[in-house]
């Protein structure tokens, strides 16, 4: 049999073409830190619905008990992606050129979307000991870890109540431990995210005194953060991760409306995913107040700036010239949105 040169070249090229095919390439592995609150929902959706796999990414999801504890491994390159609130560690790492950036919205409060609140131990409310924000004076109020953004909310609550930030005793407990803290009286209140907010209230341990949306409107509760090494050494992987993340964010937005789960729009799928990943009953998830989340990943810059100024005023962030804009890099989200196109809500 005589083969033409063109056919011979095609056959010789076939193994190389197969090796270069996306389906034959080894998946890019990324390490992603989560704290298993509703703020992690987009990561969970992307994993469960195969959006990471579609982008040829293998996401290793690692649990932390507070977002601030991700900062050291994120800055060192031990994990690639983190997420959570603003923090002293985040701002100082950026200032010291360690290499972290806020790259997308994970969750925020908004009118109707009150998934974060100031909860007060029920006994204090029932007894009349706690009636208003001025009564925070001398109480033990918990946040997830030292130096995190919710301390800025406590500062605002103190100001509104006519007391000082220093009048309130701060106790640092991860969300899961706050449940036990309310139960045994170790704490008097806490700034709590869902689903722990609904869990505490449903067990009769705490009362929702005020949503943080009323203390600090449109608060940027949780943000996606990239490590410097990940951004600089694997920018294409970083963009593909963001594409999968925002595709998941759009699924999440389809599932919510006016701060509640929709009866359609794939809400039951989203609830099931979060129930599985966060190890919480689906019935509890159906009762929580979902977060607001921008389908294009845009962050609330004014909220981040206010937290930064609070930490600067406290002396925890020494560089007074550091600005919120120095901490944010929206280029990955913007590139992903160009590929995904404009968000169109499913009806």
DSSP label of 87? B
Starting from the edge strand earliest in sequence, which strands make up the sheet with 116-121, in order?
169-172, 140-143, 189-193, 116-121, 206-211
What topology is assigned to 28-109+219-340 in CATH? D-Maltodextrin-Binding Protein; domain 2 (3.40.190)
Chain-centre distance for alpha carbon 344: 23
What are the C-alpha distances in Å from 104 to residues 42, 251, 268? 11, 16, 25
- Look at residue 225 in the predicted model and tell me its pLDDT: 97
Nearest CA among 290, 302, 294, 303 for reference residue 333: 294
DSSP 264: S
46: which residues sit within 8 A by CB, 6+ positions away? 52, 59, 244, 245, 247, 248
Q: Please tell me if the domain spanning 28-109+219-340 has the same topology as the one spanning 116-215.
A: yes
Helix (H) or strand (E) holding 246: helix 235-254
Per-residue tens of pLDDT for the chain, all 347 residues = 444 444 444 444 444 444 444 455 689 999 999 988 888 999 999 999 999 999 999 999 999 987 878 888 998 899 999 998 999 989 999 998 877 899 999 999 999 998 899 999 999 999 999 999 999 999 999 998 899 999 999 999 999 999 999 999 999 998 889 999 999 999 999 999 888 999 999 999 999 999 999 999 999 999 999 999 999 999 999 999 999 999 999 999 999 999 999 998 899 999 999 999 989 899 999 999 999 999 999 999 999 999 999 999 999 999 999 999 999 999 999 999 999 999 988 76
Q: Where are the beta strands (DSSP E) in 122-274?
A: 140-143, 169-172, 189-193, 206-211, 220-227, 256-257, 260-261
User: Distance between CA 285 and CA 75 in Å, rounded?
Assistant: 33
In DSSP terms, which residues pair with 81 in a beta bridge?
Answer: 32, 226
Q: Which residues lie below 8 Å from residue 152, measured CB to CB, with a gap of 6+? A: 86, 216, 306, 307, 310, 311
CA distance 197 to 262: 20
- What pLDDT score was predicted for residue 110? 94
Residue 84's pLDDT is 86
- For residue 189, the model assigns a pLDDT of 98
Sorted by where each begins, the domain ranges of the chain are 28-109+219-340, 116-215
CA–CA dist 254, 248 (Å, integer): 10
CATH number of 116-215: 3.40.190.10
Of the candidates 36, 39, 41, 90, the one whose C-alpha atom is nearest the C-alpha of residue 225 is 90
Whole-angstrom Cα distance, residue 346 to residue 252? 11
């Amino acid at each position: 049999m005589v083969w033409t040169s063109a056919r011979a070249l095609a056959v010789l090229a076939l193994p190389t073409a197969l090796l270069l095919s996306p389906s034959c390439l080894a998946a890019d592995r990324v390490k992603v830190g989560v704290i298993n609150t509703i703020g992690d929902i987009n990561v969970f959706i992307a994993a469960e619905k195969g959006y990471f796999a579609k982008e040829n990414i293998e996401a290793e999801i690692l649990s932390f008990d507070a977002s601030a504890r991700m900062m050291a491994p994120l800055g060192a390159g031990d994990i690639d992606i983190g997420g959570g609130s603003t923090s002293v560690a985040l701002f100082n790492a950026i200032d010291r050129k360690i290499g972290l950036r806020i790259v997308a919205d994970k969750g925020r409060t908004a009118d109707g979307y009150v998934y974060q609140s100031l909860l007060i131990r029920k006994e204090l409310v029932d007894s009349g000991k706690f009636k208003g924000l001025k009564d925070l004076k001398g109480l033990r109020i918990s946040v997830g870890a030292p130096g995190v953004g919710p301390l800025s909310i406590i500062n605002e609550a103190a100001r509104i109540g006519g007391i000082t930030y220093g009048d309130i005793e701060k106790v640092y407990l991860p969300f899961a431990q706050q449940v036990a803290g309310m139960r045994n009286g170790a704490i008097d209140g806490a700034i709590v995210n869902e689903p722990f907010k609904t869990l505490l209230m449903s067990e009769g341990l705490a009362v929702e005194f005020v949503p943080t949306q009323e203390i600090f409107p449109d608060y940027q509760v949780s943000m996606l953060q990239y490590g410097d090494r990940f951004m600089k050494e694997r920018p294409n992987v970083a963009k593909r991760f963001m594409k999968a993340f925002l595709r998941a964010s759009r699924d999440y937005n389809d599932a919510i409306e006016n701060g509640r789960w929709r009866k359609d729009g794939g809400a039951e799928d989203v609830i099931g995913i979060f129930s599985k990943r966060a190890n919480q009953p689906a019935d509890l998830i159906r009762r929580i107040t979902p977060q607001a989340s921008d389908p294009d990943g845009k962050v609330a810059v004014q909220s981040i700036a206010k937290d930064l100024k609070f930490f600067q005023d406290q002396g925890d962030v020494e560089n007074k010239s550091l600005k919120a804009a120095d901490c944010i890099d929206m280029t990955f989200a913007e590139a992903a949105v160009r590929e995904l196109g404009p968000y169109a809500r499913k009806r």
